[in-house]
Structure 1
Amino acid sequence: MSILLSRRRFLGLSAVGTSALFLNGCDRLTQNEDVQRVLEKAETLTETAQRTLLPRGALAREYTEADLSPVFKVNGTSAPDGEEYARLMAGNFADWRLVVDGLVRQPLSLSLTDLKRLPSRTQITRHDCVEGWSAIGKWTGVPLGLLLQSAGLLPNARYIVFYCADDLGATLDGTGRYYESLDLVDAFHPQTILAYGMNGVDLPVGHGAPLRLRVERQLGYKHAKYLMRIQVTDSFAAIAGGKGGFWEDLGYEWYAGI
């Protein structure tokens, strides 16, 4: 194994180890201020180490079709509840639109057909879930950086926030809508794509149809499914619980690099 891959594996194990505290149901620990400070330092260490040790454009390992997993587990929501998503799904997502707004010069509203007409990237990568399982899949989609360039980021843009159709129950903002966020480094990474295809076919509902985020250098909970809106902002402090993501608001690390 190369030094680069060894470092990447070390970073991944560090992130998994920290997040495992939450998966084991340690609610009292996560509410302890001293423990929270330790976890925040661990997250900062993980982010600093990865950004220092790995070149900014370093790619996650890519595989061949022979490596595809025979079963790729559906995690999280298998299909969003609600009449709106059901209507969109019944129409094969013909009426679905992805909105890109916020700190941009040119807001966008794109259909699935619009996205499929844009330059695409296909990559075969390993999905690493914080629950401890992994699977290899083939993803096709539009590089996120391409859309952001088309929209034109304003000078004060710092974060990209992804809003989703799935509802996982009431959270700090009272809605439970799934959301996630990235900084500009990961948003413009060449393997960060908005995927509409999986294993050579249209993205299945269970895996996030019609569109999901693939950010291959981070753990699975960052790969938001059922995308509806992308907002460019200078802060996520006033969004939901202010931590930058659904699970982050409940105690997970915002930076989940591997």
Structure 2
Amino acid sequence: MSDRDDRRLSRRMLLQRAALGAAAVTLGGCDRLSQSETMTRLLESGQALNMKTQRLLAGSDALAPEYPASMISPVFRPNGSTNPQTGLYQRHLASDFADWRLDIDGLVAQPLSLSLTELRSMPARTQITRHDCVEGWSVIGQWSGPVLEDVLQRAGVRPEARYVVFHCMDQLNGRDFYYESLDMVAARHPQTILAHSLNGETVPVANGAPLRLRVERQLGYKMAKYLRGITLVEHLDDIQGGRGGYWEDRGYTWYAGV
């Protein structure tokens, strides 16, 4: 890795710590802080500044570091759910995802319903990248799958679409399905892919089978697993807790750039 890459990573780590610090304040500051409108506005303004600063320093299209095959971790440690027990997921798992579909709807010209076979037949990007977890650990793996932008182009993004919402088949609390979201800048990044393969094999159940999001310039909780649908929307206000993601609804920052 070059000195230039090292400097870029150092800047990203500084920004990452700022984002995590904001999340820690929210999570560790008791309900009184999270219920304070003043504190909420302060955290949201800090998050927006962090996003703008990182994109100014690194550029909207700057690539996350990619690594040689020799650096792939022996085991790609899973995070979050590892075997969803929802009826929806277990039915698809039992049939080896033969009837599974990825539905793309919302603010699109042509809603789509794509099978795993159709997604595998699309041109794929392969990248060896580092997964950084909010818990403080990292792991390197090789991911392959269609670039999200290519899938969105098939559906035709309407001009008013501002966010891409990812719907999942797992529930961490037995009630709310996991979900995540990206703005159009992150969604159209060349390294943002819908991964169906990990280290040359189909994505294991523990890592998000049959399909998971990879958005390499953000932390691991943004990379939704067990995908079932994608919806393009103008705002996030009426989706679950209204903050753009399962963990964001519980205090994490929406923008988790590294």
How high is the TM-score relative to the length of structure 2? 0.93
CA deviations on 1:8-61 (whole Å, 9 max, x unpaired) are 222122222322345657554433444333322221121010121122210000
Match of 2:73 in 1: 69
Match of 2:185 in 1: 185
Q: 2:57 aligned with 1:53, yes or no?
A: yes
Match of 2:135 in 1: 131
CA deviations on 1:169-190 (whole Å, 9 max, x unpaired) are 26xxxx4110000010000000
CA deviations on 1:149-198 (whole Å, 9 max, x unpaired) are 0100111111100000001126xxxx411000001000000000000000
Matches within 5 A, 1:40-119: 40-119=44-123
Does structure 1 retain, via aligned residues, the 8 Å contact 2:27–2:251? no
Q: In structure 1, the residue corresponding to 2:89 is in which secondary structure?
A: helix
- Unpaired runs of 5+ residues, structure 2, are none
Closer, same or farther: CA 70–187 of 1 in aligned 2, 3 Å: same
State the superposition RMSD in angstroms: 1.6
**What is the rounded CA distance, in whole Å, between the counterparts of 2:60 and 2:86 in structure 1?**
40
Q: 2:11 aligned with 1:7, yes or no?
A: yes
Alignment partner of 2:154 out of 140, 150, 156: 150
Does structure 2 retain, via aligned residues, the 8 Å contact 1:23–1:131? no
Does structure 2 retain, via aligned residues, the 8 Å contact 1:121–1:142? yes
Alignment partner of 1:167 out of 167, 171, 175: 171
Does structure 1 retain, via aligned residues, the 8 Å contact 2:97–2:210? yes
**What is the rounded CA distance, in whole Å, between the counterparts of 2:80 and 2:31 in structure 1?**
20
Structure 1 range deviating more: 28-37 or 82-91:
28-37
Does structure 1 retain, via aligned residues, the 8 Å contact 2:27–2:252? no
- Unpaired runs of 5+ residues, structure 1, are none
Give identity over the alignment, percent: 56
**What is the rounded CA distance, in whole Å, between the counterparts of 2:143 and 2:111 in structure 1?**
26
CA deviations on 1:78-99 (whole Å, 9 max, x unpaired) are 1111222112111111110000
How high is the TM-score relative to the length of structure 1? 0.93
